[in-house]
């Protein structure tokens, strides 16, 4: 039987001692990532009853699960919609519409657009990330490509005044991406939630108040 490398042993030790991992398990949540979203959403009060939310890069479902619970809690009579998409399979979640496929594929994107039925989206979330190789020169362009696709999707489907929340990795292309967001939205802030591991290069860009036309 192959022995684990020291780096993988360190990761496992860190993972299982992580207070957010323990909390997620105790509260029946699929992922510790739910606490990133909880902090980001509650700080700016992003959720409203009856919202339509699209969750890109949703698997294993931590964000969609938390969203569904919160929207139901806000107003059970107006539950809104949570539409989730990922290249990975995701076990079903009650009240969450899941589409399995690669967001880079035009046919998959078309299916997502059809499921929306032409109705505008109130909140677009993207926690998408490529499979990381550990080589920045490879990983950052892949991550930025996904971020560009997510921004294009928000351009087409997010309602005027809507909100776009996306995971980004600091590095080449980051500053220009944020500049592009500032052309499209009234308010753009960069957040690092407490549940995001300190050594991670990930941050979240929160873009609020989509403009009817870019500056």
Does residue 128 carry a pLDDT above 90? yes
Mean pLDDT score, 126-142: 82
Does residue 15 carry a pLDDT above 60? no
Q: Residue 189 to residues 25, 142, 157, 215: CA-CA distances in angstroms?
A: 30, 23, 21, 18
45-101 pLDDT, tens digit each:
999 999 999 999 999 999 999 999 999 999 999 999 999 999 999 999 999 999 999
Given this model, what pLDDT does residue 179 score?
97
- The answer to whether 98 and 72 are in contact (CB under 8 A) is no
Among the listed residues 134, 57, 50, the one whose alpha carbon sits nearest the alpha carbon of residue 103: 57
Hey, which CATH number is domain 6-210, 1.10.150.20, 3.40.50.150, 3.30.930.10, 1.20.140.10? 3.40.50.150
Does residue 171 carry a pLDDT above 80? yes
Three-class secondary structure assignment of 114-133: HHHCCCCEEEEEECCCCCCC
Helix (H) or strand (E) holding 69: helix 62-74
Given this model, what pLDDT does residue 1 score?
41
Mean pLDDT score, 128-133: 81
Please indicate if the annotation marks 86 as binding a ligand: yes
Given this model, what pLDDT does residue 19 score?
60
Given this model, what pLDDT does residue 22 score?
61
In whole angstroms, give the CA distance from residue 90 to residue 71.
20
Does residue 212 carry a pLDDT above 90? yes
Please indicate if the annotation marks 127 as binding a ligand: yes
- The answer to whether 87 and 111 are in contact (CB under 8 A) is no
**Burial degree of 129 (CB within 10 A; 0-12, 13-18, 19+):** middle
Given this model, what pLDDT does residue 12 score?
43
Secondary structure (3-state) at 211: coil
Mean pLDDT score, 102-130: 93
- Who contacts 68 (Cβ-Cβ below 8 Å, separation ≥6)? 82, 93, 94, 95, 96
In whole angstroms, give the CA distance from residue 71 to residue 133.
36
Query: What are the residue ranges spanned by the domains of the chain?
Result: 6-210
Three-class secondary structure assignment of 150-175: HHHHHHHHEEEEEEEEEEEECCCCHH
215 as an active site residue: the answer is: no
Secondary structure (3-state) at 195: coil
In whole angstroms, give the CA distance from residue 115 to residue 45.
26
Please indicate if the annotation marks 139 as binding a ligand: no
Residue bearing the bigger pLDDT, 118 or 25: 118
Given this model, what pLDDT does residue 98 score?
97
- The answer to whether 153 and 194 are in contact (CB under 8 A) is no
Please state, rounded to an integer, the average pLDDT across all residues of the chain: 87
Given this model, what pLDDT does residue 4 score?
52
Q: Which residue has the tokens 């979640």?
A: 93
Residue bearing the bigger pLDDT, 20 or 203: 203
Mean pLDDT score, 19-29: 59
Catalytic residue among 167, 192, 210, 215: 167
Given this model, what pLDDT does residue 133 score?
72
């Amino acid at each position: 039987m192959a022995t684990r490398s020291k780096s993988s042993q360190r990761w496992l030790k860190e993972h299982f001692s992580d207070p957010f991992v323990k909390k997620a398990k105790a509260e029946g949540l699929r992922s510790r990532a739910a606490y990133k979203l909880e902090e980001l959403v509650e700080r700016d009060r992003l959720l409203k009853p009856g919202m339509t939310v699209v969750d890109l890069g949703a698997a294993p479902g931590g964000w969609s699960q938390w969203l569904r619970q919160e929207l139901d809690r806000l107003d059970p009579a107006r539950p809104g919609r949570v539409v989730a998409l990922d290249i990975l399979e995701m076990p079903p979640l009650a009240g969450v519409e899941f589409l399995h496929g690669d967001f880079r594929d035009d046919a998959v994107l078309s299916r997502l657009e059809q499921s929306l039925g032409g109705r505008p989206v109130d909140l677009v979330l993207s926690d998408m990330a490529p499979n990381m190789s550990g080589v920045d020169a490879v990983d950052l362009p892949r991550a930025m490509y996904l971020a560009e696709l997510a921004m294009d999707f928000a351009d087409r489907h997010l309602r005027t005044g809507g909100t776009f929340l996306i995971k980004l990795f600091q590095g080449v292309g980051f500053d220009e991406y944020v500049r592009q967001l500032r052309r499209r939205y009234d308010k753009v802030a960069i957040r690092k939630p407490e549940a995001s591991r300190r050594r991670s290069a990930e941050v979240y860009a929160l873009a609020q108040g989509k403009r009817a036309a870019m500056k």
